[in-house]
Structure 1
Amino acid sequence: LPYSMNWQSLKDMFKECGHVLRADVELDFNGFSRGFGSVIYPTKDEMMRAIDTFNGMEVEGRVLEVREGRFNNRREDNDRYNQDPQDPEEDIRDAEPDLVQDITVHIDETATKFTEGVNPGGDRNCFIHCSNLPFSTARSDLFDLFGPIGKINNAELKPQENGQPTGVAVVEYENLVDADFCIQKLNNYNYGGCSLQISYAKRD
C-alpha cells in the first residue's frame, strides 16, 4: 500500500466492490504505515470482486498485491474474532461468522523470522512469549498492550506456515526488569476475552 494511505482511504477505495465491514492499515511503533493492511467483506463474492479489481493495480507508484486473508473459511477464527470486545465494528458481529471474508494486502515475512523457533518456558531474559491472544490482534496492538510496561525493541505475531494466526506473539524488551514486570502484570490478564499466557521465551 502507499504509505500515505490510512484506514479510511483504504475503506473508501475497496467500497467500490461491496460493503466493507472493516478496513485496517498496519502501523509501526511510531504510528506510521507499514505498507499493508486488511479489508473485511461480508460475502465471498465481494471479496473475489475486490481481488479481481485491485490485485496488480498501481496506486501512487506501488503495485498492490491483494489476496485472500488468513481468516477465510475458518469458523473458529471468525468466532474468536467476533468475540473481541475491543472490536469497534459491531456489524462484524452481526455477520455470519463463516461468511466474513478477509483480504490481506501484502505478506510480511519479518514476523516469521523474528518468531521462528521461539517457545515459552525460557530462563530469565528480555524476550517474552505470549500465547492465547485473540486471532484479531494486529502487530500495533502488541505495542499498545506491552508498551506501557517498558521500552520495546521489537514485537511480532507468530504466524503458522500457511499464514494463519496462532494467537502467539514474541516481545523483546530493552530491559530485563521490564520483562519481569510484564510477566508479573500481564500473565493471566484478560485481553479481548482471552486469558493471556506469558512467560520468558526461549529459542529452540
Structure 2
Amino acid sequence: MEGTMAAEGQNGGDDGMMRIGKRCYVSNLAWKTSWQDLKDKFRECGQVVYANVTRGDDGRSKGWGIVEFETPDEAIAAVNTLNGTDLGGRRIAVREDREDRDVKQFVEGEEGAAAAPRARSTRGRGRGRGRGPRAPIEGEPSGFQVCVQGIPWKYTWKELKELLAECGEVERADVMTAPDGRSKGWGTARFTTKEAANAAIEQFHGSSLEGRTLTVFLDKKA
C-alpha cells in the first residue's frame, strides 16, 4: 500500500516504499508532554529502548522528540499506526528518524582536530531510495553538540552517553554504523548546555579509551 513503511533491507526495489531504521521522529508534541508520556504512548507498538523530548536552554519543550525501538518492525508499526493520533490533546506527526541512518558532514572544532568523514549521498544509487546528509534544523542553537572519533568498536550510543555524562546532562547520543550494523568508530553527543559540551572536549579530547585515542570537537553543523 502506498505510504506504508518497510524495514531497511526489505522490499529494496523501486516499489514506492520508504526505508526506516529503529528510530522515529515525533513532532507537534504538546508542551507538557514528557519523555515518559512519549514512551508510554509508543509502547503500544513494541519495546521502547529510548525516548526523549528535546528541550531548550530554559527547560521548555521544543515540541519534538525521538523514540527508539528494539527492532525496525516496531518502528514501522509506530509510523503506520501512531501518525496523526492524539497525545496530550495534540495530533502528533510520526516519521522515520533520518538522523538514525544519515551521517552529517562535520567540520573541525579546533586546530589539529581531524574532520569526521564526509557523508556521501546515496540518492539515486543502488536499489533503495537513499538520502544525503540531513540539513541542520533552522534556528537550532550551535555549541551544544560534539563529534567524538576513536570510539571503541563495541560501544553503542548508550555507552557513549554514559561516558560523556560525567561532563553534564547528555540529551542525545549516536554512534554511526555501517549498513551491516557495525560501528564506524565515531559518533555525536548533544548536551543540554554549552558548558557541558566544552567540558567534554576538555576532558576527553586526546584521552585513551580501551586502546583508542579519542578526538572530540564541537559539531558546528548541529
Same fold flag (TM > 0.5): no
Normalising by structure 2, we get a TM-score of: 0.42
Q: Which has the higher contact order (CA 8 A, sep 6+)?
A: 1
TM-score, normalised by the number of residues in structure 1: 0.45
Whose helix proportion is higher, 1 or 2?
1
